[in-house]
Amino acid sequence: MSRMPQLSSRPLVCGLIAGALTLATATAGQAKAATVSASRAAPQGLYVALGDSYTAGSLIPNPVGTPADCFRSDRNYPSLTAQALGLTLRDVSCSGAATVHTTAPQAGLLLGGTNPPQLDGVTPDTELVTVQIGANDTGIVALAANCVLAGAIAPTGSACRASHSSGGRDLVRERIAAAAPKIAAVLRGIHQRAPSARVALVGYPAIAPTDGTNCYSLVPLSPDDVAYVNELFVAMNAMLAEQAAANDAEYVDTYTSTVGHHFCALPETRWFEGPLPSDIAYPYHPNARGEAAMARSAIAVLSLPRPQPGPVLSALRQQRAARRAGRPPRFSFTLDRRATVTFTLRRRVATKRYGPLMHTFRRTLDAGNSRIELPRRLLGRRPGTYKLTATPAVADLTGALVAVRFRIR
């Protein structure tokens, strides 16, 4: 099956941007300010915002910061969040950014600019970091634009879904799964540079209808293709929430509060634009109202007291003497405090895929060094590859999941 041409997450055409910037300059003084509110009890100090064009607020007036071709807006959600929480903002987001641009420069921007590695903006005195990234690694936003090309000649059916599948595999979902370790690496990089900072991973909003409808005259996508776009945003957000939980970060859900304000909505209730924006914004991106909505979601989370960290469990280390069939596998580890640890065991049934749950059990263990032994009857003399996961918890505080893969010969 032939592949559709993929569009870059950069501005689609220079003329669109030039026209929008001209319009932004002319109307900036008349633009409505977004209304946000928050408790002033939130953390004070330096706030660093990392992210892509959804963070930057591409083409929304007024443009601020350098390089100019990152297209940051003074009405993007970091600006509104900083204002509401009384924080000093350092916005290093940039349109078109992917996870690689957190550690490497983002060169070759539209006007020739280069954005430094975004993690360079995170310093030890940082008190709050938000990061919203991954859409350009997975291509979920560019996908909507690409699928319009197929939808223009296929008003019904599944042109978008089909063009991103091969041999029964959903290529975009595979990219979402492949982005998970990249997101984890970004969060670890933030913690390394600012160990005491509060870190929030911001999800992506509901840019498409979620009720099975479409608006073909505005956005030429079939009902199934609109549903497919929405499914991918849901899958992307599920991955982000999982990585936040596993890497000591809070998750900001911007999806739930934006349902119904998609690119098919009436202009006065539309927070996300389609291929021909009715407001000053980049196609398939938030307008000023969308940025304000994401700000409200961020403020709702960050106005609350910082969650206490869950218990920490070290890597699981298997003892070499227990690697043969018939011998009970033993694993050692350490806990930073007394906690109840839930263990689950699965056996691999195919490449990169593990079968249904074989066994689960809980142990309440004291702080320090511990050891567990898997019951011999679980494995018997069944050689193969297994995965053991462990999740520590104290009351309502859950620590990061730890997993180890091991082979029985």
| Options 101, 261, 262, 285, the catalytic residue | 285
Active site residue 166: no
Active site residue 303: no
Angle at 130 between CA 108 and CA 36, to 5 degrees: 110
| Options 53, 73, 79, 297, the catalytic residue | 53
Give every CB contact of residue 87 below 8 A, 6+ residues apart in sequence.
42, 43, 44, 45, 46, 47, 81, 127, 128
Q: Which residues are catalytic?
A: 53, 285
